[in-house]
């Protein structure tokens, strides 16, 4: 192939949104940084979680969790909960939170949080891929446009690029996609 070099088996769909997953571990939450997230449909998502993570068993047991979108202001705490295992440290107090309507821990500082329930699990050797139904989505007023819809140019979520382990900031609008049926 001219002008292209074969990189081997490289997952090249990065960067991915940085999220903090919240799951209750009894009476208190645990926080886990996950950037392997994606859409399955308009009302369903997926997170890929290592079977070795402390939170993994609580996600399997509780069958519900929160996905908190990380912005620049949350990044130091989000990075911390991604570097430190709950098997070694109690991370429950890292974020101020409240319980959402579905009973998941919702980070107060998160500009957007989705409460989700596990509807299926796709297993691989080292990861479980939890298929989730979105039950509730909460957004801070500052993340909404005048019509009350999420505005990612305002929100500016952080994304993570795996090959170099870098966090990047989004938010620049490059153009607008025409909707199907519009001229």
For residue range 42-66, list pLDDT tens digits in order.
Answer: 999 999 999 998 899 999 999 999 9
* Residue of 14, 92, 11, 19 whose CA lies nearest to 54: 92
Query: What tens digit of pLDDT does each residue of 66-87 get?
Result: 999 999 999 999 999 999 998 8
DSSP 108: T
Place of tokens 């153009």: 175
Q: Which pLDDT score is estimated for 148?
A: 95
Cα 176 from Cα 94, distance rounded (Å): 37
CA atoms of 171 and 41, how far apart (whole Å): 24
Alpha-carbon distance values, 44 to 106, 116, 139, 150 (Å): 18, 9, 18, 18
CA angle 172/174/179 to nearest 5° reads 120
What single DSSP character describes residue 162?
G
pLDDT of residue 181: 66
Amino acid 13: pLDDT? 82
Q: For residue 39, give the DSSP letter.
A: E
What average pLDDT does range 126-138 have in this prediction?
A: 96
Statement: residue 25 has pLDDT above 60: yes
pLDDT score for 183: 55
Residue-averaged pLDDT of the chain: 93
Cβ atoms of 92 and 20 closer than 8 Å: no
> CA-CA distance, 73 to 42, in Å (whole number)?
28
Cα-Cα-Cα-Cα torsion 120, 66, 31, 41, nearest 10 degrees, comes to: 50
């Amino acid at each position: 192939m001219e002008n292209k070099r074969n990189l081997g088996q490289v997952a090249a769909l990065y960067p991915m949104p940085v999220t903090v997953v919240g799951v209750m571990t009894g009476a208190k939450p645990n926080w886990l940084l996950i950037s392997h997230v994606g859409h399955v449909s308009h009302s369903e998502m997926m997170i890929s979680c290592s079977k070795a993570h402390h939170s993994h068993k609580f996600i399997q047991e509780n069958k519900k969790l929160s996905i908190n979108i990380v912005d620049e202001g949350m990044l130091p705490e989000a990075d911390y909960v991604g570097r430190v295992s709950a098997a070694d440290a109690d991370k429950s107090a890292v974020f101020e939170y409240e319980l959402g309507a579905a009973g998941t821990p919702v980070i107060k500082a998160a500009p957007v949080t989705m409460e989700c329930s596990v509807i299926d699990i796709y297993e691989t050797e080292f990861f479980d891929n939890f298929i989730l139904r979105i039950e509730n989505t909460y957004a801070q007023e500052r993340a909404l446009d005048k019509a009350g819809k999420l505005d990612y140019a305002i929100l500016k979520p952080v994304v993570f690029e795996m090959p170099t382990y870098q966090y990047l900031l989004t938010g620049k609008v490059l153009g607008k996609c025409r909707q199907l049926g519009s001229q």
